[in-house]
């Protein structure tokens, strides 16, 4: 078989070897340098223009990186690393990029010394295993039923965010939402699906303090016939459908040849009888509210309003799933398959309210809701978008604590401990892998103290102070208030899952 012929430009060049390694490292370091200033207790906000011309003001690493238009493959891999951290853990997106950048930075010297990349990778894998063991060793178990402690933990994790001045409010919202949707699977295992069963509804207007967690679901819909259907029902019986309540159209083009005028009336009567039969099958369960994801014909609306039943049509699938979790209903595909057990009776109130220029339906005061809605109020859309990002991080932290109730000290204490342990163990590593292994310890400590520059502190002075205290086997940290005068132990700054995943991903 003849090999293909490629026509390339005369100026095209192909590069390989250490030169490509250096280019990849430089590209990765450039990405890390972009968001380095957004890390730590004095993190800076960045103002960006998104693809549609809108303004994004944030210090969230993943939100910043996804707005960048990057062509270099190594830089794209760094952005993908941040996205994966956000999906799997929900927080630590900036940390994982900065740590990965430092790991690559210290590896560059070994590329110059003709170390094979495989040797460096093997040393990093060993350092990763030892670092995870250290994290597990210094982690502390906590009681997830202690609300005051849980609030302190969540609040400390959003202390570097834009909404840190509203830390108590955001922590309350995040903890209430995650505990609402948490499901105990037994044997100490909990399932907390914040993406599927927690909806954040942003409505401009009012103050941020007006935000609250609804024990139920709200969505941007009104009843189909506002004048004839009730907008407020106490203890409603709810039926959820994902099928249309209208005459079924033919799959292909259907032609009907009518000879007499009466034949047209017969066709209309058949359509009416079909819809009436669907409504009768639903109404025999005496519902107060019928919600469908598909269409609802005018004739079906007539039968429902005549029976005193409120109806909502064309609801999103995600909202329908949340309603089912909140009120205990079961989504049904066909009305003739309805059973009494499919009717939701867990809701305490159905109400339609007008907020601004739009109508919102509320199904709240549920008995045992496993889905909820966080209603955010604020002055502008830009503010609400950033509050939502911070709230998502807070809910992710609360979820991680509920699933794995362990913490590690923050404020640089964990990084210093890991670095000191790796430095100590490097003497037992045999062969040329010893030097990349030891360099990993240097990268960890540089990452741990990179935010000192934002505090206006001397980097080397603090490192020396920390090392001196570390020799006394003390877990210490630093923040923007207690610099060098008095060190204190911080037990509520880092969730073990976030630290472990960030370390593993960066390595």
Residues with active-site annotation: 60, 93-94, 393
Tokens for 14, please give them: 């192909």
Residues 274 and 247 sit within 8 Å (Cβ to Cβ)? yes
Does an H or E element contain 223, and which? none
Return the closest-CA partner of residue 384 out of 225, 229, 210, 216: 210
Alpha carbon 170 to its chain centroid, in Å, reads 15
d(CA 75, CA 31): 6
Q: Provide the terminal-to-terminal Cα distance of the chain, rounded to the nearest Å.
A: 43
Q: Residue-wise over 272-286: b if at least 16 C-beta within 10 A, else e?
A: eeebeebbeebbeee
Coil vs helix vs strand at 227? coil
At which residue do the structure tokens 């060993």 appear? 126
Cα 79 to the chain's mean position, in Å? Answer: 16
Element (H, E) at 6: none
Number of residues written out for the chain = 507
HEC sequence for 364-405 = ECCCCCCCEEEEEEECCHHHHHHHHHHHHHHHHHHHHHHHCC
The values of phi and psi at residue 502, to 5°, are -65, -40
Q: What is the DSSP string of 416-438?
A: HHHHHHHHHHGGG--GGGHHHHH
User: What is the Cα 124 distance to its own chain's centre?
Assistant: 29
H helices present in 317-380, as ranges: 317-327
User: Rounded to whole angstroms, how far apart are CA atoms 104 and 97?
Assistant: 11
Place of tokens 């189909």: 224
- Dihedral (Cα; 20, 21, 27, 28), 10-degree rounding: 150
CA dihedral 34, 129, 425, 473 (to 10 degrees): 80
Task: Report how far residue 418's alpha carbon sits from residue 133's, in angstroms, rounded to the nearest whole number.
Answer: 9
Helix (H) or strand (E) holding 408: strand 406-408
- How far apart, in whole angstroms, are the C-alpha atoms of residue 215 and residue 195? 16
């Amino acid at each position: 078989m003849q090999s293909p012929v490629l026509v390339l430009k005369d100026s095209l060049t192909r590069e390989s070897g250490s030169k490509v390694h250096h280019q990849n490292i430089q590209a990765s370091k450039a990405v890390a340098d972009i968001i380095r200033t957004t890390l730590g207790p004095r993190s800076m906000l960045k103002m960006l223009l998104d693809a549609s011309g809108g303004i994004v003001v944030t210090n969230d690493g993943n939100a910043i990186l996804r707005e960048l238009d990057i062509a270099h493959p190594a830089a794209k891999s760094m952005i993908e690393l941040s996205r994966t951290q956000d999906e799997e853990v929900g927080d630590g997106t900036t940390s994982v990029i900065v740590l990965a950048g430092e790991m690559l930075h210290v590896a560059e010297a070994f590329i110059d010394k003709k170390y094979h990349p495989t040797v460096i990778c093997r040393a990093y894998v060993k350092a990763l295993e030892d670092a995870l063991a250290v994290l597990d060793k210094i982690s502390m178990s906590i009681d997830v039923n202690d609300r005051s402690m849980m609030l302190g933990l969540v609040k400390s994790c959003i202390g570097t965010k834009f909404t840190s001045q509203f830390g108590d409010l955001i922590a309350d919202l995040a903890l209430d939402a995650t505990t609402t949707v948490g499901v105990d699977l037994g044997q100490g295992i909990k399932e907390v699906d914040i993406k599927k069963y927690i909806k954040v509804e942003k409505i401009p207007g009012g103050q941020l303090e007006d935000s609250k967690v609804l024990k139920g679901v709200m969505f941007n819909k009104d009843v189909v016939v506002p004048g004839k259907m009730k907008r407020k029902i106490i203890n409603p019986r709810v039926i959820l459908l994902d099928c249309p309540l209208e005459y079924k159209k033919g799959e292909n083009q259907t032609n009907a040849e009518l000879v007499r005028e009466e034949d047209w009336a017969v066709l209309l009567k058949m359509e009416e009888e079909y819809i009436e039969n669907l409504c009768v099958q639903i109404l025999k369960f005496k519902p107060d509210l019928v919600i469908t994801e598909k269409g609802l014909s005018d004739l079906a609306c007539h039968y429902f309003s005549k029976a005193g039943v409120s109806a909502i049509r064309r609801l999103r699938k995600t909202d329908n799933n949340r309603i089912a979790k909140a009120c205990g209903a079961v989504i049904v595909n066909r009305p003739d398959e309805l059973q009494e057990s499919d009717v939701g009776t867990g809701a305490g109130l159905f109400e339609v309210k007008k907020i601004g220029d739009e109508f919102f339906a509320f199904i709240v005061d549920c008995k045992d809701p496993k889905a909820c809605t966080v209603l955010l109020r604020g002055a502008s859309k830009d503010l609400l978008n950033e509050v939502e990002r911070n709230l998502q991080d807070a809910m992710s932290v609360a979820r991680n604590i509920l699933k794995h109730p362990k913490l590690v000290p923050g404020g640089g204490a964990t990084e210093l401990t890991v670095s000191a342990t790796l430095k100590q163990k490097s003497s037992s590593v045999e062969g040329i892998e010893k030097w990349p292994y030891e360099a990993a310890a240097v990268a960890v400590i540089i990452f741990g103290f990179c935010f000192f520059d934002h505090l206006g502190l001397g980097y080397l002075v603090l490192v020396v102070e920390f090392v001196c205290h570390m020799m006394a086997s003390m877990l210490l940290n630093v923040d923007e208030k207690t610099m060098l005068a008095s060190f204190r132990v911080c037990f509520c700054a880092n969730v073990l899952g976030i630290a472990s995943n960030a370390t593993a991903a960066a390595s």
